Structure 1
Amino acid sequence: MSKKQILIVEDESIVAEDLRETLISLGYAVPSVESSGEKAIEKIEGMRPDVVLMDIMLQGAMDGIETAKEVHDRFDIPILYITSYSDEHILERAKITEPYCYIIKPFRERELHINIEIAIYKHQMENKLKESEHWLSSTIKSLGEAVISTDKDGLIKTMNPFAEAMTGWKFDEAFAKPISTVFNIISEKPDIKVENPVTRAIREGIYYGLAEHTVLISKEGMKVPVDVIGSLIKDNFGNIMGTVMIFEDIIERKRLEERIKKTNIE
């Protein structure tokens, strides 16, 4: 197994050398030690280390926080801050760059080792989650049915292109709006009221819209008969996180049913 590469960005040469020796003794590779943010960015472009240990207070045009922000914006590399400062203002600035942790000088070898390993593991898990989310998003977008998901309060979280086309709402407009605003459904029968699908799905565990002869009214006012099924999204502990609604245009099915009915009567 190849050694994990760690880039050190530290402008105090004694501290930097001590840190380099410590990391090597822990089994890491330290291909470079940089004293400025500008040089660190250049090095990262070429070597793409597994972790960057960044001193917050660097001399030069870019301090550690500014350097970390550029690393965060341009590269997918975990950053661990090493600092002698615990000033609230500095830490608030540093938060924006989403570091994996802060290691206060003077640090202990075991503390350093544990934090590096946690950062590497957390970064790997985040990348797996991003990959899963990408596959899920691509799958939902390619489905032949319209899909809308909501949080547990019925506020829209996702929509695929079919849902956008059928409702007349773009996802950017619909995001965080109540599902009843975007997914506006009624019954073909005037004496039947269609219950909010999220409310019903949460109460019964599932929602079927066909029984109510459901009609979707688009943003432009167009009415389309739809077949709807809604179900719950739960976490690993069975807690309700939200709902997902899958629906499709059944106007051709309705027309076929009418032709068959008419033929049977004749």
Structure 2
Amino acid sequence: MTNEKIMIVEDEKIVALDIKDSLEHFGYSVPCMADSGEDAIKFIDQYRPDLILMDIVLKGKIDGIEAAKEIRDNYNIPVIYLTAYSDEKTLQRAKLTEPFGHILKPFDERELRTNIEIALYKQEKEKEKQFDREKCVNSLLDNIGDAVISTDINGNIKYINPLAEALTGYTKKEALGCRITNVFKIVCEEERVVEDPIRKVLREGAFFGLEDNTTLISKNNTRIPLDIIGSPVTNKKNEIIGAVIIFYDITDRKEIERSFHSYDISYC
């Protein structure tokens, strides 16, 4: 028995119910059905389906192809088209959304089941590849000589390496999911709060340094002078989806600067 959830997007209720019966017979669950592209997109956050069976002609202002494009751009959920339309123009539009399958109506249960199993298998393999890539990147970041924090576009922490844990005083368990400003607390001269580095990345792109004398205040109130680099994280469409903040302790450099300044004064 499988546990995958499949959303049906079909504007003909009888057809939708027939598909639902077939899916439940295969062992899948059908948490919701939609008859418009707008509802399909709205239901994703609520039901989190593992796969979507999408008709092309739907009620509402957007058709199944437009809905599938938005789902591809914003969610990592495979879509299989179920449609009676096989004209060249429709097929070319559908191809651009990179579907995991395209089944022409009428179809039999074996064809439906085979396409679903292949799509779910391909999706699982893609997740494994993504996990391996992330694991490799995180392993590299864990061992570099600088502190690293990465966030989503809203500034919520998605990754923090061991050196960043040590400098901020927050463990990975404490930091993940928190706003970066609640973990990476920085001020400058006269205790003035420094601009949120994520906002600066979103506004300017990559930056090197925030303000002079930027200081990190750790969880135990230790004050650590820092240099900071910020860089955007982008998706395949070159849209910013997050940020990486790299920072390093410059206490030794500050001590040398103070010593040098003191030496100049005494010499004069």
Return the TM-score normalized by structure 1.
0.58
Q: Distance in 1 between matches of 2:254 and 2:193?
A: 21
How do 1:96-175 residues align onto structure 2 when only pairs under 5 Å count? 106-108=109-111, 112=114, 118=119, 121-175=122-176
Q: 1:117 to 1:176 in 2, by over 3 A?
A: closer
% identical aligned pairs: 31
Residue 243 (structure 2) pairs with residue 243 (structure 1): yes
Map of 1:86 onto structure 2? 23
Unaligned runs of 5+ in 1: 1-55, 57-64, 69-82
Map of 1:60 onto structure 2? none
8 A contact 1:84–1:106 mirrored in 2:
no
Q: Distance in 2 between matches of 1:173 and 1:93?
A: 36
Q: Distance in 2 between matches of 1:131 and 1:176?
A: 21
Q: Distance in 2 between matches of 1:216 and 1:128?
A: 36
How do 1:202-221 residues align onto structure 2 when only pairs under 5 Å count? 202-209=202-209, 211-221=211-221
C-alpha deviations, 1:217-254, integer Å up to 9, x for none?
Answer: 00111111011111111112121111111001100010
Q: 1:227 to 1:120 in 2, by over 3 A?
A: same
Map of 1:72 onto structure 2? none
8 A contact 1:189–1:213 mirrored in 2:
no
8 A contact 2:167–2:218 mirrored in 1:
yes
Q: 1:172 to 1:235 in 2, by over 3 A?
A: same
Map of 1:199 onto structure 2? 199
**Which entry has the higher C-alpha Rg, 1 or 2?**
1
Map of 1:183 onto structure 2? 184
8 A contact 1:84–1:105 mirrored in 2:
no
Q: Distance in 1 between matches of 2:196 and 2:250?
A: 20
Q: Distance in 2 between matches of 1:87 and 1:125?
A: 25
Map of 2:252 onto structure 1? 252
Give the secondary-structure state (helix, strand or coil) at the position aligned to 1:126.
helix
8 A contact 1:210–1:226 mirrored in 2:
no
Residue 228 (structure 2) pairs with residue 228 (structure 1): yes
RMSD of aligned Cα (Å): 3.4
Aligned residue-pair number = 183
C-alpha deviations, 1:66-117, integer Å up to 9, x for none?
Answer: 8x9xxxxxxxxxxxxxx974349x6339999x6999xx97414x973x5565
The offset of 1:156, in angstroms, is 0.8
Residue 23 of structure 2 aligns with an amino acid whose one-letter code is: S
Q: Distance in 1 between matches of 2:263 and 2:172?
A: 42
Q: Distance in 1 between matches of 2:154 and 2:161?
A: 20
8 A contact 1:151–1:242 mirrored in 2:
yes
Q: 1:115 to 1:85 in 2, by over 3 A?
A: closer
8 A contact 1:147–1:246 mirrored in 2:
yes
